Amino acid sequence: MRLSKGFKIINQKIKDLTDGSGDLTKKIEDKSGTEFEVIADNLNKFIVEIQKLVMQVGTRTADIYTSMQQMQNDVTNSYENASGISKEAEKHKITSKAPWMM
- The pLDDT score that the predictor gives to residue 102 is 60
**Distances, alpha carbon 21 to alpha carbons 13, 15, 76, in Å:** 9, 9, 42
* Distance of alpha carbon 34 from alpha carbon 94, whole angstroms: 91
- In this prediction the pTM is 0.61
- The pLDDT score that the predictor gives to residue 99 is 66
- The pLDDT score that the predictor gives to residue 29 is 83
**Which stretches in the chain have pLDDT values below 50?**
none
For every residue of 29-96, DSSP letters joined together read P--SSSHHHHHHHHHHHHHHHHHHHHHHHHHHHHHHHHHHHHHHHHHHHHHHHHHHHHHHHHHT---S
- The pLDDT score that the predictor gives to residue 33 is 86
